[in-house]
Amino acid sequence: MDAIEPHWVSLLWFAAFATVGTIAFLNLAGMFPLSLRPASARSNAATLLLAGNGLLLSALLVGTALYGYAELRWSSLIVATGLVVLFAPGLFEIWPSSLRDGWRGLSMLVGVQILALAALAMVAGRFWANMS
């Protein structure tokens, strides 16, 4: 494995963070335009959850991209990203529609993204410390 990617543990972490980001993106993309979102996600609280999810998703995607750029070979980065984008929609489709289309799914997604950002901070902490 070292001949393909010397930092294969970083590759696994990158794939996990990218998968969470892709699934979160798919969930949020289904909520726009705001006038056409599902009835269970039309409240003001759901709108705040959408905004919070958008901010968390932005931070997760930027952090994941920086982590992948710093730790992986370009070829590994491209292949892993392609595989995640190819197979993550299948994971999204097996979710029950009550979690995909409502405020419960949005609130769960906030928790998942916070956990992913915390794990990313732990894993990439030494990289981020060296950036300054």
**pLDDT tens for the chain, residues 1 to 132:** 566 778 889 999 999 999 999 999 998 888 777 776 676 667 777 788 888 999 999 999 999 999 999 999 999 999 999 999 999 999 888 888 877 777 788 889 999 999 999 999 999 887 666 665
Q: Is residue 89 a contact partner of residue 19, using CB atoms and an 8 Å limit?
A: no
Cα–chain-centroid distance for residue 130?
Answer: 24
95: left (phi over 0), alpha (psi -120 to 50) or beta: beta
Distances (CA, A) of 18 to 7, 11, 64, 98, 117: 16, 10, 7, 23, 11
